[in-house]
Amino acid sequence: MTERLPDGRFKPGTSGNPNGRPKSATTELRRQLAEHGPALASKAVEMALAGDAQALRICLDRISPSLKPQPAPIHVDLDGAEGLAGVSRRLVDSAAAGEIPADVAAQLVGALGQVARITEIDELERRLAALEESANGVANPPTAWPPWIPDSHSHAKQPTSFSSASTATSTTP
């Protein structure tokens, strides 16, 4: 039996599978495949040409991958008056009616969400630039702060806390 530490792990240098596959087995297999690969490929092609269906399938799978279905192109008008939310609703309705595949509708709605985020960021950047420009063009900036807001030019004191003694009424008999 293999020796273990109190927490159940194997002691350093102890294998959990002492009789397992030798480390060199995979390396040896790769070496042989590299050495005999061209001959094996030629034999597979020869067998496929002779009518061996399994060899033919292996050869064809390696030559060209399986074709994946491609949906027909879908035109989406983003410049319409209904906005991105309306376009998204139309896509979901089309998927529900079976006019377009649901996975395609989901991808398009996700893409519309990204367009909405990008549009929102562009709009925020434009608005921020306009605000900064208008702030830089202010002719009469404030020259005095209210007395409770300290600034670097004055040493105005902040309001002190209200004394409860001046507002409290005595209830002692």
* pLDDT tens digits, one per residue of 81-128: 788 899 999 999 999 999 999 999 999 999 999 999 999 999 999 999
* Residues 126, 91 share a domain: yes
C-alpha gyration radius of the chain: 38
The answer as to whether 94 is a domain residue is yes
Query: How many structural domains is the chain composed of?
Result: 2
Residue 166: per-residue pLDDT: 47
Give me the amino acid identity at 141. P
The answer as to whether 45 is a domain residue is yes
Quote the pTM value. 0.42
* Residues 87, 53 share a domain: no
Residue 152: per-residue pLDDT: 58
The answer as to whether 168 is a domain residue is no
* Residues 91, 55 share a domain: no
Cα→Cα distances 50→59, 124, 154, Å: 13, 69, 99
Residue 15: per-residue pLDDT: 72
Contact indicator for 94, 103 with CB cutoff of 8 Å: no
The answer as to whether 39 is a domain residue is yes
Contact indicator for 100, 74 with CB cutoff of 8 Å: yes
> Which range, 61-65, 77-81, 111-115, 136-140, is most confident?
111-115
Q: What's the CA gap between 8 and 23, in Å, rounded?
A: 24
The answer as to whether 152 is a domain residue is no
* Residues 96, 58 share a domain: no
The answer as to whether 51 is a domain residue is yes
Residue 133: per-residue pLDDT: 86
The answer as to whether 104 is a domain residue is yes
Label residue 132 exposed, middle or buried (CB < 10 Å: 0-12, 13-18, 19+). exposed
The pLDDT of residue 154 is above 70: no
Q: Identify the domain containing residue 97 by its residue range.
A: 83-135
The pLDDT of residue 168 is above 80: no
Stretch 127-133: mean pLDDT: 90
The pLDDT of residue 139 is above 70: no
* Residues 100, 131 share a domain: yes
* Residues 55, 89 share a domain: no
Contact indicator for 71, 56 with CB cutoff of 8 Å: no
Q: What's the CA gap between 46 and 58, in Å, rounded?
A: 12
